[in-house]
Amino acid sequence: MENFSDLITKRRSARKFTDEQLTQDEVVTLLKAALMSPSSKRTNAWQFIAVDDKETLRKLAYCKEHGAAFVSDAALAIVVTADPMASDVWIEDASVASIMIQLQAEDLGLGSCWVQVRERFSANGEPANDFIHELLDIPLQLQVLSIIAIGHKAVERKPFNEEHLQWEKVHINKYGAE
Protein backbone atom coordinates (compact mmCIF):
# COMPACT_ATOMS: atom_id res chain seq x y z
CA MET A 1 0.00 0.00 0.00
CA GLU A 2 1.34 3.41 -0.90
CA ASN A 3 0.05 5.32 2.13
CA PHE A 4 -2.39 5.11 5.00
CA SER A 5 -5.09 7.11 3.20
CA ASP A 6 -5.07 4.58 0.37
CA LEU A 7 -5.20 1.75 2.88
CA ILE A 8 -8.31 3.01 4.68
CA THR A 9 -10.02 3.93 1.42
CA LYS A 10 -9.42 0.49 -0.05
CA ARG A 11 -10.14 -1.63 3.06
CA ARG A 12 -13.62 -3.09 2.77
CA SER A 13 -15.07 -6.11 4.54
CA ALA A 14 -14.50 -9.29 2.55
CA ARG A 15 -16.85 -12.22 3.12
CA LYS A 16 -15.89 -14.30 0.08
CA PHE A 17 -12.48 -15.94 -0.04
CA THR A 18 -10.58 -18.13 -2.48
CA ASP A 19 -9.22 -21.55 -1.49
CA GLU A 20 -5.64 -20.23 -1.45
CA GLN A 21 -3.92 -20.65 1.89
CA LEU A 22 -1.88 -17.95 3.61
CA THR A 23 1.88 -18.22 3.79
CA GLN A 24 3.60 -18.60 7.14
CA ASP A 25 5.09 -15.12 6.66
CA GLU A 26 1.61 -13.62 6.13
CA VAL A 27 0.30 -15.27 9.31
CA VAL A 28 3.30 -14.09 11.31
CA THR A 29 2.90 -10.55 9.94
CA LEU A 30 -0.78 -10.52 10.93
CA LEU A 31 -0.01 -11.74 14.44
CA LYS A 32 2.80 -9.19 14.82
CA ALA A 33 0.30 -6.45 14.01
CA ALA A 34 -1.99 -7.78 16.74
CA LEU A 35 0.83 -7.99 19.27
CA MET A 36 2.03 -4.46 18.46
CA SER A 37 -1.40 -2.91 18.89
CA PRO A 38 -1.62 -0.26 21.59
CA SER A 39 -3.31 -1.00 24.88
CA SER A 40 -4.20 1.03 27.94
CA LYS A 41 -1.24 1.41 30.28
CA ARG A 42 0.46 -1.24 28.13
CA THR A 43 -1.46 -3.94 29.99
CA ASN A 44 -1.66 -6.10 26.85
CA ALA A 45 -4.72 -7.84 28.27
CA TRP A 46 -5.48 -9.35 24.87
CA GLN A 47 -4.60 -12.82 23.61
CA PHE A 48 -5.07 -14.27 20.14
CA ILE A 49 -5.93 -17.71 18.83
CA ALA A 50 -4.96 -18.28 15.20
CA VAL A 51 -7.16 -20.93 13.62
CA ASP A 52 -6.36 -22.41 10.22
CA ASP A 53 -7.73 -25.92 10.69
CA LYS A 54 -10.60 -26.26 8.19
CA GLU A 55 -12.82 -28.34 10.48
CA THR A 56 -12.40 -25.86 13.33
CA LEU A 57 -13.12 -22.94 10.98
CA ARG A 58 -16.30 -24.73 9.87
CA LYS A 59 -17.38 -25.13 13.51
CA LEU A 60 -16.48 -21.52 14.37
CA ALA A 61 -18.87 -20.39 11.63
CA TYR A 62 -21.74 -21.60 13.86
CA CYS A 63 -20.81 -19.38 16.82
CA LYS A 64 -23.58 -16.95 15.85
CA GLU A 65 -27.03 -17.37 14.38
CA HIS A 66 -26.26 -14.76 11.69
CA GLY A 67 -23.14 -13.10 10.34
CA ALA A 68 -20.43 -15.73 10.79
CA ALA A 69 -21.00 -18.33 8.03
CA PHE A 70 -18.15 -16.95 5.90
CA VAL A 71 -15.61 -17.96 8.58
CA SER A 72 -15.77 -21.51 7.20
CA ASP A 73 -14.31 -20.30 3.89
CA ALA A 74 -11.52 -18.19 5.41
CA ALA A 75 -7.91 -19.34 5.28
CA LEU A 76 -7.39 -18.04 8.81
CA ALA A 77 -9.49 -16.79 11.69
CA ILE A 78 -7.90 -14.86 14.51
CA VAL A 79 -10.00 -15.07 17.66
CA VAL A 80 -9.42 -11.93 19.70
CA THR A 81 -9.79 -12.39 23.43
CA ALA A 82 -8.88 -10.34 26.49
CA ASP A 83 -8.81 -10.62 30.26
CA PRO A 84 -11.27 -8.22 31.95
CA MET A 85 -9.41 -8.71 35.25
CA ALA A 86 -6.20 -7.38 33.69
CA SER A 87 -7.76 -4.23 32.26
CA ASP A 88 -11.03 -2.36 32.72
CA VAL A 89 -10.79 -1.26 29.08
CA TRP A 90 -10.28 -4.74 27.62
CA ILE A 91 -13.08 -4.17 25.10
CA GLU A 92 -11.38 -1.08 23.71
CA ASP A 93 -7.94 -2.71 23.67
CA ALA A 94 -9.22 -5.85 21.93
CA SER A 95 -11.12 -3.65 19.44
CA VAL A 96 -7.96 -1.76 18.55
CA ALA A 97 -6.10 -5.07 18.08
CA SER A 98 -8.92 -6.34 15.87
CA ILE A 99 -8.75 -3.37 13.52
CA MET A 100 -4.93 -3.51 13.47
CA ILE A 101 -5.24 -7.09 12.18
CA GLN A 102 -7.70 -5.94 9.51
CA LEU A 103 -5.50 -3.06 8.37
CA GLN A 104 -2.49 -5.37 8.20
CA ALA A 105 -4.50 -7.87 6.17
CA GLU A 106 -5.42 -5.15 3.67
CA ASP A 107 -1.81 -4.00 3.47
CA LEU A 108 -0.88 -7.59 2.53
CA GLY A 109 -3.56 -7.58 -0.18
CA LEU A 110 -5.77 -9.94 1.83
CA GLY A 111 -9.44 -9.63 2.67
CA SER A 112 -10.85 -9.67 6.17
CA CYS A 113 -14.10 -9.30 8.05
CA TRP A 114 -14.87 -8.70 11.72
CA VAL A 115 -17.28 -11.12 13.38
CA GLN A 116 -18.77 -9.59 16.50
CA VAL A 117 -18.83 -12.17 19.31
CA ARG A 118 -19.35 -10.21 22.54
CA GLU A 119 -23.06 -10.03 23.42
CA ARG A 120 -24.04 -12.30 20.49
CA PHE A 121 -25.70 -15.73 20.50
CA SER A 122 -25.65 -18.97 18.53
CA ALA A 123 -28.78 -20.32 16.83
CA ASN A 124 -29.68 -22.33 19.94
CA GLY A 125 -29.44 -19.26 22.19
CA GLU A 126 -26.04 -20.10 23.68
CA PRO A 127 -23.77 -17.07 24.14
CA ALA A 128 -21.27 -17.00 21.27
CA ASN A 129 -18.51 -16.43 23.83
CA ASP A 130 -19.39 -19.72 25.59
CA PHE A 131 -19.61 -21.60 22.28
CA ILE A 132 -16.10 -20.46 21.30
CA HIS A 133 -14.69 -21.08 24.79
CA GLU A 134 -15.76 -24.71 24.60
CA LEU A 135 -14.64 -25.20 20.99
CA LEU A 136 -11.16 -23.73 21.50
CA ASP A 137 -10.55 -24.63 25.18
CA ILE A 138 -10.17 -20.97 26.14
CA PRO A 139 -9.45 -20.28 29.83
CA LEU A 140 -12.47 -19.01 31.75
CA GLN A 141 -10.98 -15.58 32.61
CA LEU A 142 -10.65 -14.60 28.94
CA GLN A 143 -13.57 -13.06 27.08
CA VAL A 144 -13.95 -13.30 23.31
CA LEU A 145 -14.53 -9.96 21.62
CA SER A 146 -14.30 -10.84 17.94
CA ILE A 147 -13.14 -13.17 15.24
CA ILE A 148 -11.26 -11.68 12.32
CA ALA A 149 -11.75 -13.91 9.26
CA ILE A 150 -8.92 -13.53 6.74
CA GLY A 151 -8.19 -14.90 3.30
CA HIS A 152 -7.43 -14.10 -0.30
CA LYS A 153 -10.29 -12.02 -1.70
CA ALA A 154 -12.63 -13.86 -4.08
CA VAL A 155 -14.29 -10.55 -4.98
CA GLU A 156 -12.63 -7.16 -5.20
CA ARG A 157 -14.86 -4.40 -3.84
CA LYS A 158 -14.78 -0.80 -4.95
CA PRO A 159 -12.84 1.54 -2.65
CA PHE A 160 -14.83 3.71 -0.27
CA ASN A 161 -16.35 6.67 -2.09
CA GLU A 162 -15.47 9.89 -0.26
CA GLU A 163 -18.58 11.52 -1.72
CA HIS A 164 -20.53 9.49 0.84
CA LEU A 165 -18.69 10.88 3.85
CA GLN A 166 -21.19 12.15 6.41
CA TRP A 167 -19.58 15.46 7.27
CA GLU A 168 -22.76 16.47 9.12
CA LYS A 169 -21.62 14.07 11.86
CA VAL A 170 -18.49 16.10 12.53
CA HIS A 171 -18.76 18.93 15.07
CA ILE A 172 -16.13 21.54 15.86
CA ASN A 173 -15.52 22.67 19.44
CA LYS A 174 -19.00 21.67 20.59
CA TYR A 175 -21.92 19.67 19.32
CA GLY A 176 -24.05 21.44 16.75
CA ALA A 177 -21.78 24.47 16.43
CA GLU A 178 -21.58 25.98 12.95
User: Residues 78-93: pLDDT tens digits?
Assistant: 999 999 999 999 999 9
pTM of the model: 0.95
Cα–Cα distance measured from residue 30 to residue 133, given in angstroms and rounded to the nearest whole number = 22
Element at 13 (helix H, strand E) = none
Query: What 3-state class would DSSP assign to 50?
Result: strand
Residue range 133-147, pLDDT digits in tens:
999 999 999 999 999
Mean pLDDT, the chain, as a whole number? 95
Q: Which residues of the chain have pLDDT under 50?
A: none
Tell me the one-letter amino acid at 13: S
| Per-residue confidence (pLDDT) for residue 2, from 0 to 100 | 72
To the nearest 10°, report the CA torsion of 23, 16, 77, 45.
110
| Residue 139: predicted pLDDT | 97
Which residues are CB-contacts of 46 (< 8 A; sequence separation ≥ 6)? 34, 37, 39, 80, 81, 82, 90, 93, 94, 97
